[in-house]
Chains A and B, each alone.
Chain A
Amino acid sequence: MNDIGLFHFLFVSCALFFIGVYGFLTRRNLITMLMSVELILNSVNINFIAFNKFLYADKLDGLFFTIFIITIAAAEAAVAIAIIINLYRNHKTIDVEEVDAMKY
């Protein structure tokens, strides 16, 4: 039972995912929300790695995806932070509750 199996990985990844979703939905600070998104992405990464290792050990597709996602996440962080900075310049706040001009 001391072996770390697929289930453990999936449990961690699932926990991480829901923590991320919870953070994204409840936190008002945009930076924190960005961090939550990173958590979600990383839970996916863990999933990919775990499935790759346990199910298709002789292939590298899962790894490639992971690397790809990390790249995307980096780019996304850059864009998101740029948006946040612009938002701050315009509204003097990064609280999402305050920024609701785009509505009916």
Chain B
Amino acid sequence: MLSTSLIVLIPLLPVLTFVLIALVGKKYFPSFCGVLGTLSLLAAFILAATVAYDYFFVVGKVGGVYQQIIPFKMTWLQFSPNVAIDMGILLDPISVMMILIVTFVSLMVHFYSLGYMKGEDRYATYYGFLGLFTFSMLGLVLSSNIFQIYIFWELVGLSSYLLIGFYFDKPSAVAAAKKAFIVTRFADLGFLVGILILSFYAGTLDFQTLILRLTTPTDQLHNIATASFLGCSALTWGLVLVFIGGAGKSAMFPLHIWLPDAMEGPTPVSALIHAATMVVAGVFLVARLFPVYAISCPPALDVVMWVGAASSFIAAVIACTQTDIKRVLAYSTMSQIGYMMFSLGVSRYGGENGLGYMASMFHLFTHAMFKALLFLCAGAVIHYTHSNEMKDMGGLRKLMPVTHLTFLIACLAIAGIPPFAGFFSKEEILQAAFNSNKAIFGIAIITAAITAFYMFRLYFNIFWNKPYHAHTGNHDSHHGEAPGTMLIPLILLGIMSVCAGFIPFGKLVTSDGHALLTEFHPTFSIAPVLLASLGIFIAWSFYKKQSPAPRRMADGLKGLYTAAYHKFYIDEIYLFITKKVIFNLVGRPAAWFDRNIVDGFMNLLATITEKISFLIKRMQSGKVQSYAAYFFVGVIGFVLLFIYWWT
């Protein structure tokens, strides 16, 4: 049975660990902090699994429909009798699924880091930050209130900032952390305005009430749909602005520029935050407000769809040209999140139309597993070779058999080869796209082929290609693959990547809570699988052995290749806009105004005061008798004044 205190404990355990590590652990038992964090996460995972079991199979379903349950709610800030910010927990299929993903991946990462981060100077701090992040992420997915989600949204942004900048003595890491923070903050501004618009018209911050009021024909819905601004209704504006917030966090084009740089953080962090959990927060947010999008404002959903599809395709193209293995994975993450986004975008509410929603959540789940696995494998490879660059790798398959096998599984999963997890979720997405929008379907299927190509390009470059030889002089090439603490998470996630596809998601997570019967169409999946296999085959022929083919190909597509290699110059465009346009047109005049007008006024006041005091300071001569004379004259003056008044 769902017990309130146990559910509350799920997010509280990591934050307690964080507080404990920060206050005493760092100082008194730094080397034990890792075990402490891992144990606490293990407990949280077990609780989350219990809650998930109870929710999905015992109490969640009433009359064949999954209910939203609020086991805990308290008023946190009461502004007025009608306006209050609550802190609560909302259990519904997606939040239960998310706590399961977050605690599981976080547990794997905690466990993996025991080996990966061993011997780091700030080992205890690292585990403290991980705890803080896990807490914030769990708080985010469990939020029952749109303002609460915003608070935790910022908290995950903060923990992401702290962890990207973990190696703060590296200037690039500091720059990456700042970039991630500023870009997401910029997007969060949209989110905040969106929250204000939606909650102003709906008259509530509470998710359930808000969704109810904005999806059924009420006064609120009428008002928000008729209030117009720049040709769009307030509802469209609110939802699009909320989506901008989500797009910033989820690295959607054109706000994706922070994600590749965020790979400066420790690799397990990339696995946890920048692959499996935090970056899907945007997808989660759209899914959370999905009824409002789908029922009341399909145009906003079209925006989600096109942005998702564009991001997915652009990121896939860029990923083909990158040489830093973590950056390839970062772009692949962006591409897969694009998949989830447009899958939500093509979906509608309820029944068969909700296929895209279900597929998106399904893909979120399977992606969390295989992408975390890919990152952790990449971490193991980096641990072994001490390099992020593909050219320093090659021929590692004999040296790192477990990593090789699990990486291969993950690659097959992401490429969508049956029977691995990604196949099932991707098929659902493609089917949803096929049913509603053929153009999106076209983009999606091409992206799927490119995905297979660049993932296997990565795979062959790391594990095949040329024989491995140590590159750095002091590298001890005889040290083993990786410690067991790093291999066990790989194996567990590998098993998940194989099996996760067989979970009957349509019965568990759907847009309206009703079970959705998904049919498996073998004929439909032939084309995507063939295209993916083609991608793998090309990668195989290019990169299995060192060959001149990739070079020739790159030269043949020179313009495209260079543009993709430079990430389509989006960073440069941003720099141009900020440095050349905004700094010159806004920054400099504002600075001039500040220096000359604002400061000038203050300086003027100070100067006047100084001058006057300089003039009259002679009065304070230190001579007692002159003071007495002033006093006497003053008294005489008063006497004369009073005599004048009274007579």
Interface residues of A (CB under 8 A from B): 21, 24-26, 33, 96-97, 99-104
Pairwise interchain contact A25-B632, C-beta atoms closer than 8 A: yes
CA distance A101 to B632 in the complex (A): 22
CA distance A103 to B618 in the complex (A): 9
- When C-beta atoms are compared, the residue in chain A nearest to B632 turns out to be A21
Task: Say yes or no for B552: interface residue by CB 8 A criterion.
Answer: no
Pairwise interchain contact A103-B628, C-beta atoms closer than 8 A: no
Chain A residues with CB under 8 Å of B521's CB are none
Stretch in B121-129, B396-404, B568-576, B619-627 touching the partner: B619-627
Task: Say yes or no for B77: interface residue by CB 8 A criterion.
Answer: no
Interface string of B261-279 (1 = CB under 8 A from A): 0000000000000000000
User: For chain A, what secondary structure do more than half of its interface residues adopt (helix, strand, loop), or is it mixed?
Assistant: loop
Pairwise interchain contact A25-B622, C-beta atoms closer than 8 A: no
CA distance A96 to B622 in the complex (A): 10
Chain B residues with CB under 8 Å of A24's CB are 625, 628
Pairwise interchain contact B622-A103, C-beta atoms closer than 8 A: yes
Chain A residues with CB under 8 Å of B623's CB are 96-97, 100, 103
Task: Say yes or no for B629: interface residue by CB 8 A criterion.
Answer: yes
Pairwise interchain contact B629-A25, C-beta atoms closer than 8 A: yes
Pairwise interchain contact B624-A96, C-beta atoms closer than 8 A: yes
12 A–B contacts, CB within 8 A, in A order: A21-B632, A24-B625, A24-B628, A25-B629, A25-B632, A96-B625, A97-B623, A100-B622, A100-B623, A101-B622, A103-B622, A104-B621
- When C-beta atoms are compared, the residue in chain A nearest to B618 turns out to be A104
Chain B residues with CB under 8 Å of A25's CB are 625, 628-629, 632
Pairwise interchain contact B632-A104, C-beta atoms closer than 8 A: no
CA distance A24 to B622 in the complex (A): 16
- When C-beta atoms are compared, the residue in chain B nearest to A24 turns out to be B628
Min CB–CB distance B614 → chain A (angstroms) = 10
Task: Say yes or no for B170: interface residue by CB 8 A criterion.
Answer: no
- When C-beta atoms are compared, the residue in chain B nearest to A26 turns out to be B625
CA distance A36 to B321 in the complex (A): 101
Pairwise interchain contact A104-B625, C-beta atoms closer than 8 A: no
12 A-B pairs besides A100-B621, A101-B622 with CB distance below 8 A are A24-B625, A24-B628, A25-B628, A25-B629, A96-B623, A96-B625, A97-B623, A100-B622, A103-B621, A103-B622, A104-B617, A104-B621
CA distance A26 to B632 in the complex (A): 13
CA distance A99 to B623 in the complex (A): 7
Interfacial residues of chain B within 597-647, with CB under 8 A of chain A in the complex: 617-618, 620-625, 628-629, 632
- When C-beta atoms are compared, the residue in chain B nearest to A37 turns out to be B628
- How many contacts between A and B, using CB within 8 angstroms? 29
Most buried by B among A26, A100, A104: A104
CA distance A25 to B635 in the complex (A): 15
- Interface residue total, chain B, C-beta cutoff 8 A: 11
Min CB–CB distance A24 → chain B (angstroms) = 6
Pairwise interchain contact B632-A103, C-beta atoms closer than 8 A: no
A102 CB contact (under 8 Å) in B618, B622, B625, B629: B622
Chain A residues with CB under 8 Å of B629's CB are 25
Min CB–CB distance B436 → chain A (angstroms) = 84
Interface string of B298-320 (1 = CB under 8 A from A): 00000000000000000000000
Assuming A21-B632, A25-B632, is B620 touching A103 (CB within 8 A)? yes
- When C-beta atoms are compared, the residue in chain A nearest to B613 turns out to be A104
Chain B residues with CB under 8 Å of A26's CB are 625
CA distance A100 to B632 in the complex (A): 20
Pairwise interchain contact B620-A104, C-beta atoms closer than 8 A: yes
CA distance A15 to B624 in the complex (A): 23
Chain B residues with CB under 8 Å of A96's CB are 623-625
Chain B residues with CB under 8 Å of A99's CB are 622, 624
Chain B residues with CB under 8 Å of A21's CB are 632
CA distance A102 to B624 in the complex (A): 10
Interfacial residues of chain B within 447-484, with CB under 8 A of chain A in the complex: none
Min CB–CB distance B618 → chain A (angstroms) = 8
Min CB–CB distance B587 → chain A (angstroms) = 44
CA distance A104 to B623 in the complex (A): 11
Chain B residues with CB under 8 Å of A97's CB are 623
- When C-beta atoms are compared, the residue in chain A nearest to B617 turns out to be A104
CA distance A64 to B183 in the complex (A): 83
CA distance A17 to B632 in the complex (A): 12
Chain B residues with CB under 8 Å of A102's CB are 622
Min CB–CB distance B377 → chain A (angstroms) = 76
Min CB–CB distance A50 → chain B (angstroms) = 19
- When C-beta atoms are compared, the residue in chain A nearest to B623 turns out to be A100
A-B CB proximity, top 9 nearest? A103-B622, A100-B622, A104-B617, A104-B620, A102-B622, A100-B623, A96-B624, A103-B621, A103-B620
Chain A residues with CB under 8 Å of B621's CB are 100, 103-104
CA distance A25 to B629 in the complex (A): 7
Chain A residues with CB under 8 Å of B632's CB are 21, 25
CA distance A51 to B620 in the complex (A): 39
Chain B residues with CB under 8 Å of A104's CB are 617-618, 620-622
Chain B residues with CB under 8 Å of A33's CB are 625
- When C-beta atoms are compared, the residue in chain A nearest to B621 turns out to be A103
Min CB–CB distance B617 → chain A (angstroms) = 4
Min CB–CB distance A18 → chain B (angstroms) = 10
Min CB–CB distance B639 → chain A (angstroms) = 13
Most buried by A among B617, B621, B628, B629: B628
CA distance A99 to B322 in the complex (A): 83
Chain B residues with CB under 8 Å of A103's CB are 620-623
Chain A residues with CB under 8 Å of B625's CB are 24-26, 33, 96
Min CB–CB distance B74 → chain A (angstroms) = 61
CA distance A99 to B624 in the complex (A): 9
- When C-beta atoms are compared, the residue in chain B nearest to A103 turns out to be B622
Min CB–CB distance A64 → chain B (angstroms) = 25
CA distance A24 to B621 in the complex (A): 17
Interfacial residues of chain B within 4-25, with CB under 8 A of chain A in the complex: none
CA distance A51 to B623 in the complex (A): 36
